[in-house]
A and B are shown apart, each in its own frame.
Chain A
Amino acid sequence: MFLLEQVVNGLVLGGYYLLIALGLSLIFSVGGVVNLAHGAFYAFGAYVAVELTNHLGFGPAIVASPIAVGMLGILFERFILRRFYTADPILSLLVTFGLALMAEQLLRIIWGAAPLSQTMPQSLKGAVFVGDFLFSRYRLMLLAVVASVLLGIWLLLHKTSFGRVVRAGIQRPDMVAALGIKLQPYMTVIVVLGVAMAAMAGALFAPITIVHPAMGAEIITVAFVVVVIGGLGSFWGVVLAALLVGVVRGITIHFAPAAGEASIYVLMFLVLLFRPRGLLGERIEKFE
């Protein structure tokens, strides 16, 4: 029973990992760029949300922050990422890593190194009991937001012509080009969506975790692990991986708390051992 509670809690946590990992995975799948600066957008999302909360209040800040940071994503794609789609992957790794470091220092310069405090509205605080299960009211709200974002992204990718081009672009960019479709505008949208999702995760998590300059660096590793476990090019792979990581961590902490953080890396190791392309990873020609 107690274990089941941990499993359910892990699923909720997985939803939060998912917000960050899904964007990372999309940008990687379509553009072939490992965006190590993804964590920076998560941090920016949190900081902008704290700042906006002081002026607009909590609710509007949660909505406005991802939009504002998403706009930043346009510049990021147009002036930086775009140069590296066809370049040696090591170059984009270096550039985005450098950007992540710069972003962290920028946060330090603007807001100072001391952590900021962000409090949630009193109405969202406290626990909800479902049967004998304990849930944080805030995290349930968070889960609902994640689920609707997820649904939106899935519909966009699978039920629109936009999504068809993107999915085709992941598998056969040369074929898409031969049909006279330019992938670059699509890529801009994908990057903006990914960046906005990361910022939304930051904004949503600011009230329950510490808002400090290095928060981006802390989350990028876990997000990356989720992407690797899920496998490239697979929407459901990332979803499955995020939930799995949340659950495995919860169960490990239940039995061996000291090993909690290590468990997700062991999970990644095992998955890669048996399924080198990740759980639901597809064979993508351009990456082989």
Chain B
Amino acid sequence: MTTNTRRNVLKGGAALTGTLALGFPAIVHAQTEKIKIGHLTPLTGFLGALGTYAQLGIRMAEDEINKAGGVMGRQIEIISEDSVNPATGATKAQRMLDQDGVAFLMGEINSAVALTIMQVAERNKRFFMQIGARSDALRGKNCNRYTFHVDIPSTVMVNAVGLALVRDNMMKGKKFYTLTADYLFGHDLAGAARNFFKGNGGELIGDELVATDVTDFSPYLLKIRQAKPDIVCSNLAGNQVTNLIKQYAEFGLPYPIVGFNLNTADAWAAGEGNLSGTWPTVWYHTLDLPASKTFVDGFIKRNGKPPENHAWIEYISLKMVAQAINETKSTDTDKLIAYFESGAQFDILKARKAYFRKFDHQLIQEAYPFTVRKKGEAKDKWDFLALGAAVPNADQPLEVLNPTEQQNPCTFKS
């Protein structure tokens, strides 16, 4: 029977309707399936070791959030890739928005790459949580309305260490010799350092630019010795810091060394006995607070080693984003911006809660100077840093280390 009787047509129509009825929930399901978030961080190059910790941190937060039922009843999916360099990072960010269907962007450690991703965010009018890059310029003259910054900026790191140096009589009238990473972040940090020296009576007698791929520092060390400074100061980043610390100890120069930027993975890689001096950090795994300890224990259980500060910051960043989505019931960029601008408080596993400033979108939080334990006092190979008291003091406003609205040249275009 191949003739199309009326009855057959009706049957076919019913079958078709049935299929549609069955198929429809599946389509609805697909739409609510997952909230995709684009994540970029350097996994190779001189910041690659830090980016690897960053991924471990955000993955841990992703798992915890999803196990607890997700946000708005939907699971989160982090699409994470190596950002490689400024051009590739921006291309990947654009592709994630266009093709992978991510709701918004997160991540980054490299200031130069963060800058290009910020431009992608602005062009596409999408939210970007810039987590780990520290250059002042990103939240200063290059700031935009779509980007929020989690890590402490250069000025805060300089202030945190600088005030500790002032306290220890290692600033006024002292001759400083600095080594500066030759890219956006290093220049920025050197600028903040110069301002601090000028304002507090330190004298800068030399500054050397160091390319990011330098592995041998011996010519620089010889120049430092010839200049005979009182204090050597590092404005370097990533692997550079480790190489400098190791070779400084190798040559055994007598001048105390301090630095305005250090990530704990770089210090760990230098090994015990090589590091000395005062350095800043945004967080450290020995921080004596219950919430922080719970996170550290969970991380060690998952990964077999303690979290580095980039693991911590990625973890709390995704938790902040989850809080914002739950509160606003939306992944919409404008709603997220409004929420983060509202002064909402976030538990970031520190003594004091943190919040974003409305005018420059900077997370305001505590920082810590640290020094190095005496030989033999460390419990394990990750324990040789002695965390100082949080700055600012508990009786001071949290913002006091940050540039003020008058000092920070940030204005949003739209």
Q: State the A residues within 8 Å of B (CB).
A: 2, 5-6, 9-10, 12-13, 112-120, 122, 125-127, 134, 136, 138-139, 207-215, 218-219, 249-250, 253-254, 257-258, 260-262
Contact = CB atoms under 8 A, between A and B. Distances in A.
Given A113-B43, A114-B52, A139-B218, A119 B272 contact: yes
Contacts of B48: 113, 212-214
A114 B225 contact: no
Nearest to A113: B52
Chain B: interface residue count, which band?
A: 35 or more
22 contacts: A2-B222, A2-B226, A5-B222, A113-B48, A113-B49, A114-B52, A114-B269, A114-B305, A115-B265, A115-B268, A115-B269, A118-B271, A126-B250, A134-B225, A139-B218, A208-B243, A209-B216, A210-B239, A249-B219, A253-B223, A257-B209, A258-B209
Given A134-B222, A214-B45, A261-B211, 14 more contacts: A9-B219, A113-B49, A114-B305, A125-B249, A127-B251, A136-B250, A209-B215, A213-B48, A215-B215, A218-B213, A250-B219, A257-B209, A260-B214, A261-B213
A161 B51 CA distance: 53
Task: Name the residue in B48, B251, B274 with the highest tally of chain A Cβ atoms < 10 Å from its Cβ.
Answer: B251
B276 interface: no
B122 interface: no
Contact of B210 (A10, A120, A257): A257
B341 interface: no
Nearest to B303: A112
Contacts of B342: none
A261 B214 contact: yes
A12 B53 CA distance: 36
Task: With a 10 A CB-CB cut-off, give which of A2, A6, A260, A262 has the most chain B CB atoms.
Answer: A260
A201 to B, nearest CB: 12
A126 B221 CA distance: 13
A127 B222 CA distance: 11
B182 interface: yes
A134 B251 contact: yes
Contacts of A126: 250-252
B208 interface: yes
Nearest to A104: B44
Q: Which 9 A-B pairs have the closest CB atoms?
A: A117-B271, A115-B269, A126-B252, A113-B52, A253-B219, A258-B209, A257-B208, A261-B211, A210-B242
